[in-house]
Chains A and B, each alone.
Chain A
Amino acid sequence: MNDQQLVELLQKVPRELPVDDALWVGVENRLKKRGQKINRQAVVAIAVSLLLLLGAVMVLELYQRTEIKPSSLVSNPTERPIIERHGFLRNGAGMQYANHIESEFGGVQQHYRILYSFAASSVPEDLTVELIESLDLIEQSARDIRAAIKVEPDAIYLAQLLMGLYQQQMNFLNQTLVKYQQLNDDRTVI
C-alpha cells in the first residue's frame, strides 16, 4: 500500500460522530449560566465603578479643597445697596433677598454636607457629637430666621442675618473638615 492509497482510505474515514441531544442541553445550560454570570458581573462592576467614582471625587475634594469659595454675596454684601444691586422689589425685598441667599448657598451647603459625612465616617463618634449639636443649633437658628422673614418680608436685615448664619455654618464645617483630615492623617501614620 502506498501513501496515495492510504490517503484515499483516510478520506473515507467518517468525519462526523453521532450526537445525542444531551450534548446541546449541556451547551445551552452553560450559555444561560454564562449570560447570568455576565449580567451579575456587569451589575457589580457598574456598582463598584460608581462607588469608586463617588469615593474618588469626594476624597479629591476633601484633600484639595479646604477653603470655601466665597460667593459674591458673602464677599462684600454691603458694597452697594442690596435692593438696587439685585433689582428686588420694595415689597418683600427681605424675602426675595433670603430666597436669593438660599439658592446661592444651597449648592455649597450640599457639597459640604457630603464632604462632612464622608470625613466624619472615619472619625470616632465621640469627636463628632459636639459638631452635630452645633450644626443642629445652626439649622434651628436658620429655621427661626426664615419664620421671622415670613412675618416681616420687607426686612432685609433678617435676610442678612440668615446669610451670616450660613456663612458661619460653612466656616464651621470647613474648619471641622480640616481637623478631621488631620485626624485621619495622624491615624494613617500611626
Chain B
Amino acid sequence: MADQTASSATQYVVERAQKGDVKAFEILYQEHIGRVLGLCWKLTGGDDSLARELAQDSFVRAWEKLPSFRGDSALGTWLYRLVVNLVLTDKRSKKRRMKLEQVVDMNELQIAGQSGDVNARIDLQSAIVKLPERARMVLVLHDIEGWKHKEISASLSMAVGTSKAQLHRARQLLKEVLVR
C-alpha cells in the first residue's frame, strides 16, 4: 500500500516535471543526485570536478529527454543508463581527458586497498577508481550497478567475451590488492 502510494507520488512528480515544472524536477534531482554523482565519480576514475560536471550534464540531458520517458522502466534505471551513455559519449568525444589512464600502479592500488579499518569501503572505492579504465567501467557496471554483460558490451561497444575478461581482470587486480 505504502509502495503504491510512493509510486503514485513519484509518477505524479515525473508527470509534473515532464510538463516543465522545475520544482518537480528538483525533487527527482534530490532523489537521484547522490547516486548519479557516485556513478559518475567511479566511471571517471575518481575525477571530482569531471564527475560533478557530468552529473550536471546528466540532469540537464534528463530534463530534455524526460518528455520521452514512457515509464516502461523505473525512472532511476532510465536515468542511470542515460548517465552511463553520457559519460561514454564524453569519453569518446575526447574533448576531455580522463585522469588515471591505462597504466596500473599496483603500489597505488595497494595503498588504496588496505582496508583493515572503518574506512574499508571507502578505501575499496578508492582502489576501484584506480583500476584501468575499461576494467573499471565493466566492474562498476556489473558488480555495483548490476548490469548484464550483454548490456555492458552494447554500451561499451565491446564483445560479451571482452566484457567478461575485463571483469575478471578487474577482480583479480582488486583481490591482489586486498590480500596484501
**Closest approach, in angstroms, between the C-beta of A185 and any C-beta of chain B?**
47
Task: Contact check, A6 vs B125: say whether CB atoms are below 8 A apart.
Answer: no
Per-residue interface assignment for chain A, residues 11 to 44, with 1 indicating a CB less than 8 Å from any chain B CB and 0 otherwise: 1111111110001101110110010000000000
Interface residues on A, range: 20 to 34
Q: Say what secondary structure dominates the interface of chain A.
A: helix
Given A7, A13, A16, A23, which contacts B56 in the complex, CB threshold below 8 Å? A23
Per-residue interface assignment for chain B, residues 129 to 155, with 1 indicating a CB less than 8 Å from any chain A CB and 0 otherwise: 000000000010001100000000000
Interface residues on B, range: 20 to 34
Given B33, B124, B175, which contacts A24 in the complex, CB threshold below 8 Å? B33
| Interface membership of B91, Cβ < 8 A | no
Residues of B near A60 (CB, < 8 A) are none
Task: Contact check, A10 vs B139: say whether CB atoms are below 8 A apart.
Answer: yes
Residues of B near A125 (CB, < 8 A) are none
With A27-B60, A31-B22 already in contact, the answer to whether A13 and B124 are too (CB < 8 A) is yes
Task: Contact check, B171 vs A6: say whether CB atoms are below 8 A apart.
Answer: yes
Cα–Cα distance between A18 and B30 once the two chains are bound (Å): 11
Task: Contact check, B33 vs A15: say whether CB atoms are below 8 A apart.
Answer: no
Per-residue interface assignment for chain B, residues 65 to 95, with 1 indicating a CB less than 8 Å from any chain A CB and 0 otherwise: 0000000000000000000000000000000
Task: Contact check, B37 vs A19: say whether CB atoms are below 8 A apart.
Answer: yes
**Residues in chain A within 8 A of chain B (CB atoms):** 1, 3, 6-7, 9-19, 23-24, 26-28, 30-31, 34
**Residues in chain B within 8 A of chain A (CB atoms):** 22, 25-26, 29-30, 33-35, 37-39, 41, 51-52, 55-56, 59-60, 63-64, 121-122, 124-125, 128, 139, 143-144, 171, 174-175, 178-179
